[in-house]
Amino acid sequence: MQSRKFKFAMIIGFIAFITVLFLISPIFYTDEVIISGGNVVSDIEIRERLGVGSNTNLLFFNHTTARRNLMENLYIAEVAFTRSLPGRLYVQVWERRLAAYIEQSPGTFLFIDDQGRVLEVRSFKSQNLPVIEGLNFTHFALGEILEVPDSMAFNIVTQYAQLIYRHGLADRVTHINVSDTVNTRILFGYVEFNVGGIRDAETKVRIIAGILNEIPDTDYMRGFVDLRDINVERGEFFFVNLF
């Protein structure tokens, strides 16, 4: 009886040993990493942060560690992994979108996304995006949403930043000034739009886009457009003074 149990244990042990050898064999080494969704963050950086090499066993790939390493880059909002055995790893990245800058001090810019989160601090602007003026705060932390005492001013910034991007105007806006939240001003070079507050923001940005399509070159145009009190139902829209 004991001999039979011993033989059974030996068989089970041998099967387990073979199974382990199979699982750690080169069959499951990662031979291809397919990355999608990266725009600001390069594929090279993503691969480096993944820590996946040609001898990485995909069965034992540590999703938690890889995700944490990737999200140390603040431009990465979320990441997902899919394994296709034996050796293919899919990496899907969702990035935060740089929406505007705040000049914290002369020559120092905070890079913020459309939620008001600080992504980085640099001495230069990397893209043609609006500079936010009049948004007061006492401190900031990288990776965190700005704590702004004036919630109305903050909401105006995030709302208009999202709408401006949606309507393809982000690279044309030079400044958004919220120092007076009932007279919010959006500037395209020397053409100023007073949009008032956050009310009818979608309609106002549509009007701005329509007007800009009719302006040949805002670099040489000067003017002022009053959009504070538009009334679509009465057909009253805005006052334009361009020269």
**CATH code of residue 43:** 3.10.20.310
Same domain, residue pair 169 and 152: yes
CB atoms closer than 10 angstroms to residue 182: 9
Q: Which of 60, 75, 95 is the last residue of a domain?
A: 95
CA angle, 222 then 223 then 224, to 5°? 155
Q: What is the pTM of this model?
A: 0.81
- Together in a domain, 80 and 121: no
Structurally, the chain folds into a number of domains equal to 2
Report pLDDT for 14.
45
Q: Are residues 130 and 237 part of one domain?
A: yes
Q: Let me know whether 152 and 59 are in one domain.
A: no
Same domain, 90 and 125: no
Q: 35 and 148: one domain? A: no
Do 131 and 216 fall within a single domain?
A: yes
Residues 127 and 221 placed together within one structural domain of the fold: yes
Q: Is 109 helix (H, G, I), strand (E, B) or coil?
A: strand
What CATH number is given to the structural domain containing 155? 3.40.50
Q: Is 114 helix (H, G, I), strand (E, B) or coil?
A: coil
Q: Are residues 71 and 136 in the same domain?
A: no
Answer with the one of 56, 78, 95 that is the final residue of a domain. 95
| Residue 69: predicted pLDDT | 94
Asked if 112 and 18 sit in the same domain, the reply is: no
* Full domain range(s) for residue 51: 2-95
Report mean pLDDT in 10-residue bins for the chain, 243 residues.
Answer: 56 49 54 88 92 76 90 95 85 96 92 96 93 93 94 96 95 95 94 93 93 75 86 51 58
Separation of alpha carbons 162 and 213, rounded Å: 19
Domain co-membership, 112 together with 232: yes
Q: What local confidence, expressed as pLDDT, does residue 101 receive?
A: 97
Do 154 and 197 belong together in one domain? Answer: yes
Strand partners, 145: 117
